[in-house]
Amino acid sequence: MTSNQRPPGAGGPPALDAKTGVQDFVTRRFGRHVQYRVANDYTSKNGVRHVYLRQTINGVPILNGDVNINIDANGNVLNIGSTFVRRPELLERAEAALARGVDRQRLSPAQAVLRLANYLRIDLDEEGLVPIAYASADFDAEDEATRPVALFAGDRLSLDRIEVRMAFVHTETRGVELVYHVNIRQDEDWLDVGVSATTGEVVFAVNWFSRSGDYRVYPLGVNDPYDGDRELVHKPHNLSTGSPLGWHAMDSRTSFTDTRGNNVYAQENLSGRRTGWENNYRPDGGADLTFDFPIDFTKEPVENLDAAVTNLFYWNNIMHDVFYEYGFDEVSGNFQENNFSKGGLGNDAVQANAQDGAGYNNANFATPPDGQRPTMRMYVWNQETPMLDGDYDNGIIIHEYAHGISNRLSGGPANSNCMSSAQAGGQGEGIGDCMSIILRWRQEYNRDTVFGMGEYAAGRNIRLYPYADDMEINPQTFEFINGPQYTGVHAKGGVWCTMLMDTYRNMLDQSHWDEDLYKGDGANNQFLQNMIDGLKIQPCNPTFTEARDAIILADQVNYNGANTCAYWRGFARRGLGQNATAPNLGRVTEDFTIPLECL
């Protein structure tokens, strides 16, 4: 794709005449050999005219050959985007293929439809494919080249009759390929498909249905039942580019109405078994994908299983989609069954077990290398009667998923052992705590707000100190990790998250908080971006000082160092200043020095 944009006030091509200007402009830019038709042409209320062109070959469209031209009220071209095919030899070969007609090298329309049925795993043979006679006059409104070349009864394949048209698709490997273009509308899918006219392969398949629905959950900004109410969230996948087919489809052939999809399989695992989870119970949202289930907290967690699995499914998808926007994507080793040819290894959606019977009063996340399925196990907490379900403590879910992110990013997605040393393991725990706080943060929160971890499920803060800016409430500094209470990774993680939260508050002081976690530009967005990129930059099993330096370097790359001093002041306040030392073995030494440029 090419795109050119003219900055405001810059010189550019002469103003376009309303009628002939676009045609002349396209001819000058792409040459007389390029054919096209106007697909759309309209003017917005701001006076900008939007012209959309579709490339053609002898009237037959190239389905991914498009140009969009945006023109201001004075006729000046603001910018242009193009996927037009310009190489004459590709266009000539495509024209010759079109002229050849059905022969040994080209399938018939009926053969193409049968190939498509096989692709969709629908049992249909030649006898079951019923042609419909029609006259050209039935399609007088269309150009001859875009009229159907065949019509069939939908039968088991489509709710509508099947209209087969000729088209082209530009592919990287086979040039401009002739295809049969078909729409298939089914109960739960509406597919736009191109079948190769020579090989019968499905060249593309786009589902026009958004395969995601409504979920009654504790949403973003609500940590647990003590922190706020459930809401019925509508099509949350639309907020991100990370789930192009929604949350319940893996491809055009594989979709579900229960809590399975491309990013996560969520189900109960009451037995605690490590095998056979594929067939465990999952709530079903029906054809309209509505997951709206009641909760009765006077009953034991097992009586509210549908709501628990739904909340777990929702939050695994939220974590996937939010952090996709920050770069935890296919090539970085994220968790997806289908990577949509974007790199990385697939077949590794999260196995998320609700009310896992393997234990109590905990949760965990196992992260193998890219291409192998991770496992999240959420447990019931039995310290109260009735027991409490960790599947409603979003902070715990976020924390566990964060282990998957840090383990895949640190050292690269093929190495899952780069957060395993004492200090790096602590960082992994701290990152999980910090992510949970950032995702529950609200506009009204400030330096006086104090956060605990696991307060709903455990009934108390499960860290040595709550996360607070006040040094009397949370006195932790770097050398605390030398103490006997800090031999474990969770205690070290409390120190790391304390440091990170100090830097975050500093960033908020100089910027703003943005409610949009996906596309926003606030301090919270920049904090998460630098955290993700810092994980990619840092060495395998980093010390605290190495992880600090990686985050600061990420900020210099991402934001030209706009937050560097905010980071240094936060780290140094907690003893991770310029001269702190952090050997992997032995005692660390703290330092409170800030670079001169930040004083």
- So which residues are the catalytic ones? 400
Q: How far is CA 294 from CA 227, 308, 474, in A?
A: 18, 10, 38
Residue pair 79/5 in contact by the 8 Å Cβ criterion: yes
Residue pair 263/335 in contact by the 8 Å Cβ criterion: yes
Residue pair 42/50 in contact by the 8 Å Cβ criterion: yes
The per-type count for the chain, helices as H runs and strands as E runs, is 11, 19
- Report the distance separating Cα 305 and Cα 286, nearest Å: 17
Q: How far is CA 408 from CA 57, 414, 513, in A?
A: 46, 7, 28
- Report the distance separating Cα 269 and Cα 229, nearest Å: 26
SS3 228: coil
- Report the distance separating Cα 360 and Cα 141, nearest Å: 67
Contacts of 297 (CB under 8 A, 6+ apart): 225, 304, 386
Residue pair 154/162 in contact by the 8 Å Cβ criterion: yes
DSSP notation for 477-490: -GGGGGSGGGSSHH
Angle between helices 544-559 and 564-573 (to 10 degrees): 160
Selection from 55, 50, 53, 14 nearest residue 33 by Cα = 55
**Sign of the four-CA dihedral 421, 426, 427, 432:** positive
Tokens at 470, concatenated? 């006040």
Residue pair 437/457 in contact by the 8 Å Cβ criterion: no
Residue 541 falls in which region: left (phi positive, over 0), alpha (psi -120 to 50) or beta? left
241: number of Cβ within 10 Å: 13
Work out the angle at residue 584's Cα, subtended by the Cα atoms of residues 564 and 416, and round it to the nearest 5 degrees: 80
**Sign of the four-CA dihedral 573, 576, 580, 582:** positive
